[in-house]
């Protein structure tokens, strides 16, 4: 009887896992990548956190996202500050409308690892901050999704939203399957138009009231 209950429980967990939309990874994964960014560069990851700063223009959205430690983290005697900060950039493809993402919003991000940046905290100590380039993000506060429409970014987003990505299929599986597919331009649930990319690079500017991260 116990064996039967165990099998049923395992099947239930597997079913729930396969249907978990917008699957995200843990604080430990952020820290592991930050320690060896070259090993993870270009890898697809997904994280959830609170927006603590942002800048936005017609071309780019830049976010500072705080990743909190899970509840079990301190009880397991983990030695850490209890959170990590991520720098997120999202190419809006020249769309002039504001996306409506603001400080305090909870967002989930599907992104590729870019690199790390060294910045200073409010007491002047240097900290390493992981930078990601987003393919898609979902604002859980407003319920809006924003995503890239080219192949395979679009298919990766669909798999992530449906709860398949990181469970039933891995990013490499999706990328391989659509490697030769014709580019698509589906109608986004967020917005933007496919206008030529701007070559202008603008620095990330942080809200002066947010003292946890300052300029380089």
What total of structural domains would you count in the chain?
Answer: 1
Local confidence band at 81 (pLDDT 50, 70, 90 cut-offs): low
pLDDT at 5: 41
Give CA angle at 94 (88, 98), nearest 5°.
65
Does any domain span residue 170? yes
Q: Is the pLDDT of residue 191 over 80?
A: no
Residue 52 forms part of a structural domain? yes
Q: What is the mean pLDDT of residues 46-69?
A: 91
| pLDDT for the residue numbered 121 | 65
Indicate the pTM of the whole model: 0.75
Residue 2 lies in a domain: no
Would the pLDDT of 101 be above 70?
yes
Residue 211 lies in a domain: no
Is 10 part of a structural domain of the chain? no
Look over the chain and give the mean of its residue pLDDT values, rounded to a whole number: 76
**What six digits make up the tokens of 120?**
């200073």
Q: Does residue 142 lie within any of the structural domains?
A: yes
CATH number at residue 39: 2.40.50.140
Q: Is residue 60 part of a domain?
A: yes
Residue 111 lies in a domain: yes
Name the band, by pLDDT with cuts 50, 70 and 90, for residue 123: confident
Which pLDDT band holds residue 192 (cuts at 50, 70, 90)? very low
Structure tokens at 38: 């070259």
**Residue of higher predicted confidence among 4 and 67:** 67
pLDDT at 119: 77
Higher confidence at residue 72 or residue 62? 62
Exposed e or buried b per residue across 11-36, where buried means at least 16 C-beta atoms within 10 angstroms of its C-beta: eeeeeeeeeeebbbeebebbbebbee
Q: Is the pLDDT of residue 111 over 90?
A: yes
Choice between 133 and 3, residue whose per-residue pLDDT is larger: 133
């Amino acid at each position: 009887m116990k064996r039967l209950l165990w099998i049923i429980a395992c099947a239930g967990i597997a079913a729930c896992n396969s249907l978990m939309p917008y699957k995200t990874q843990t604080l430990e994964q952020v820290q592991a990548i930050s320690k060896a960014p070259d090993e993870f560069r270009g890898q697809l990851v997904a994280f959830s956190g609170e927006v603590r700063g942002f800048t936005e223009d017609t071309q780019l959205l830049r976010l500072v996202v705080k990743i909190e430690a899970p509840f079990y983290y301190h009880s397991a005697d983990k030695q850490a500050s209890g959170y990590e900060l991520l720098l997120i950039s999202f190419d809006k493809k020249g769309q002039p409308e504001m996306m409506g993402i603001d400080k305090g919003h909870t967002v989930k991000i599907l992104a590729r690892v870019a690199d790390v940046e060294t910045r200073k905290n409010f007491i002047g100590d240097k900290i390493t901050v992981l930078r990601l380039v987003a393919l898609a993000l979902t604002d859980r506060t407003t319920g809006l999704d924003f995503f890239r429409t080219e192949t395979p970014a679009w298919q990766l987003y669909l798999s992530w939203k449906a709860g398949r990505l990181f469970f039933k299929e891995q990013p490499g599986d999706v990328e391989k399957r659509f490697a030769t597919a014709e580019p698509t331009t589906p109608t986004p649930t967020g917005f933007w138009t496919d206008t030529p990319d701007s070559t202008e690079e603008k620095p990330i500017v942080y809200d002066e009231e947010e003292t946890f991260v300052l300029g380089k």
